[in-house]
Amino acid sequence: MKLTGVELRRISLPLVSPFRTSFGTETTRDALLVRVVGTEAEGWGECVAMSGPLYSSEYVDGAIDVLRRFFVPALGGSVSAVGVAPALARFHGHRMAKAALETAVLDAELRAEGRPLARELGAVHDRVPCGVSVGIMDSIGELLDAVGGYLDEGYLRIKLKIQPGWDVEPVAAVRERFGDVLLQVDANTAYAVSDARHLARLDPFELLLIEQPLDEEDILGHAELARLIKTPVCLDESITSARSAAAAISLGACSIINVKPGRVGGYLESRRIHDVCVAHGIPVWCGGMLETGLGRAANVALAALPGFTLPGDTSASSRYYRTDITTPFTLDAGHLPVPTTPGIGVVPLPDVLAEVTTSTEWLPL
Ligand code: OSB
Ligand code: MG
């Protein structure tokens, strides 16, 4: 398709409650939306970079800069979705920025052709089971209230953020109060291999997995830890491509993988990771980055692929935002519906979008 230009739009959306992890506390989602305008259709992509380089090296201002100065000019006026990654391949890193641009082009292309993203990716389900990621709290009581509320809403799996000083105690408390609910933890790199004996104290709680206990580069450390604890090790931050997924699996660094399309450069690479994992018998699940309805729609499509056998961090709009920028995703018996209309299947609501926009920039092609 011929592209006439790309719009970069910054939005600021307050979260319904602060979200605390081992790398910081988010109170608002400052996100970047990418809109590509083509001759036959336009398309949207949400960049999952956060405002600071705390989860990964990427951050919103950096994504805007690299898109404006390098990625959009390199696209040229005519491109297909499968051509975006090759056109940007000589630029290192910045996968979240690449993913946002590729998703927008893919959305425009699929809309023009009347094809839904889920079908394009190979989805086999029309709804997906949903979990919820629960931040670090000031007290166990506060945590139990939050978890109880989410279970009442129907979430099928609970993920607790952990860090040294907030790990065994919250897990034990949730197990004691809520019995055999599907439960997992996410450390966002907060531990070292030398913490193996401490982390083995989580073994009796029969967690589904422990996500990214060690530094993102410490693949061999994860392999060693996986031999020392019973809880299955899942990688998030370390998995940046299908190649890194294959290496981590071969080295025994993980037995489960969290796929986040932004982290790996887009939905096409996410599907390749899915395929690698299915070939190795490694379960995958769809992670989240506090997306708005735009990113959520595409994540839900991905989560409907056959290898996504664990509930994802694909929560309802209300878990994040009082007012989402799309028609809200609502939970139905613990599931979200997979969009069925062309492209990612949703568009921003103009009034809400205008209200949360903090700046826009038009890049002609
Ligand atoms: O590590 O999975 C993570 C949110 C922001 C950055 C990193 C992570 C998360 C979450 C929330 O855990 C997932 C979600 O509900 O979007
Ligand atoms: Mg994680």
Q: Using the Cα atoms of residue 192, residue 194, residue 196 and residue 201 in order, give the sign of their dihedral.
A: negative
Total structural domains in the chain?
A: 2
* Domain-embedded: residue 133: yes
131 with 179, same domain? yes
Ligand nearest to the CA of 288: 1
pLDDT tens readout for residues 230-267: 999 999 999 999 999 999 999 999 999 999 999 999 99
Would you say the CB of residue 315 lies under 6 angstroms from ligand 1? yes
* Domain-embedded: residue 156: yes
Contacts of 132 (CB under 8 A, 6+ apart): 150, 155, 157, 158, 159, 313, 315, 319
Contacts of 69 (CB under 8 A, 6+ apart): none
* Domain-embedded: residue 123: yes
- CB atoms within 5 A of ion ligand 2 belong to 186, 211, 236
Q: Pick the atom of ligand 1 nearest to 237's CA.
A: 1
Average pLDDT per block of 10 residues along the chain, 365 residues long: 96 97 96 97 98 97 98 90 96 98 98 98 98 98 98 98 98 98 98 98 98 98 98 98 98 98 98 98 98 98 98 98 98 98 98 98 96
CB burial string 339-358: b at 16+ within 10 A, e below? beebbbbbbbbeebbeebee
pLDDT at 330: 98
pLDDT at 292: 98
33 with 101, same domain? yes
93 with 187, same domain? no
90 with 142, same domain? no
Q: Could you give phi then psi for residue 158, rounded to 5 degrees? A: -110, 135
> What is d(CA 106, CA 297) in angstroms, rounded to the nearest whole number?
13
Q: What is the CATH number of the domain that holds 37?
A: 3.30.390.10
Q: Using the Cα atoms of residue 241, residue 245, residue 251 and residue 257 in order, give the sign of their dihedral.
A: positive
31 with 174, same domain? no
pLDDT at 76: 85
196 with 262, same domain? yes
* Domain-embedded: residue 97: yes
Domain of residue 227: give its range: 118-337
Q: What is the CATH number of the domain that holds 140?
A: 3.20.20.120
SS3 for 83? helix
Cα(208) to ligand 2 centroid in Å equals: 14
The token pair that represents 69 in the structure block: 């100065």
Would you say the CB of residue 46 lies under 6 angstroms from ligand 1? no
Cα(186) to ligand 2 centroid in Å equals: 6
Residue in 13, 19, 20, 21 to alter for ligand 1 test, most ligand atoms within 8 A of Cβ:
21
Question: What is the radius of gyration, based on Cα positions, of the chain?
Answer: 20
pLDDT at 78: 77
187 with 39, same domain? no
64 with 168, same domain? no
> What is d(CA 91, CA 68) in angstroms, rounded to the nearest whole number?
13
103 with 125, same domain? no
* Domain-embedded: residue 191: yes
Q: Using the Cα atoms of residue 304, residue 309, residue 310 and residue 311 in order, give the sign of their dihedral.
A: positive
213 with 288, same domain? yes
109 with 168, same domain? no
Would you say the CB of residue 160 lies under 6 angstroms from ligand 1? no
> What is d(CA 312, CA 254) in angstroms, rounded to the nearest whole number?
17
Please answer whether residues 76 and 365 qualify as being in contact, where contact means their C-beta atoms are separated by less than 8 angstroms. Answer: yes
pLDDT at 79: 85
Would you say the CB of residue 185 lies under 6 angstroms from ligand 1? no
Measure CA 62 to chain center. Answer: 19
* Domain-embedded: residue 343: no
> What is d(CA 329, CA 149) in angstroms, rounded to the nearest whole number?
18
The residue nearest atom 12 of ligand 1, judged by CA position, is 133
The residue nearest atom 6 of ligand 1, judged by CA position, is 289
Helix 267-280 × helix 242-250 angle, to 10°: 20
Would you say the CB of residue 55 lies under 6 angstroms from ligand 1? yes
167 with 310, same domain? yes
pTM equals 0.97
